[in-house]
Amino acid sequence: MARKGGELPARAKWRERVLRPLAARVGERRARIAYERAVRGVEAIVTGQAGNDPEDHRTLVERIGAELASISRPAR
């Protein structure tokens, strides 16, 4: 949705009213960076690079969530 003319999958169409302005605010570049970081974080958990402690996994997921939330805030 961050790209001009971007489409949502049919299963998420009901969220378009909220997601389209958010995608416009975040932009394609920042959305791609956030996506790549999230994927790397999940890969680290799956491959064991993040350690075996469930608390470490939870912390990693929380950090990803916080980072995604920070890029979606309106600029001041």
Q: Which domain holds residue 38?
A: 10-72
pLDDT for the residue 42: 83
Taking only the tens place, the pLDDT of each residue in 5-17 is 778 778 877 788 8
Residue at 18 is within a domain: yes
Average pLDDT, the chain: 80
Structural domain count, the chain: 1
Residue at 3 is within a domain: no
What value does the mean pLDDT take over residues 66-71?
Answer: 78
Q: Is 56 left (phi over 0), alpha (psi -120 to 50) or beta?
A: alpha
Residue at 31 is within a domain: yes
Residue at 4 is within a domain: no
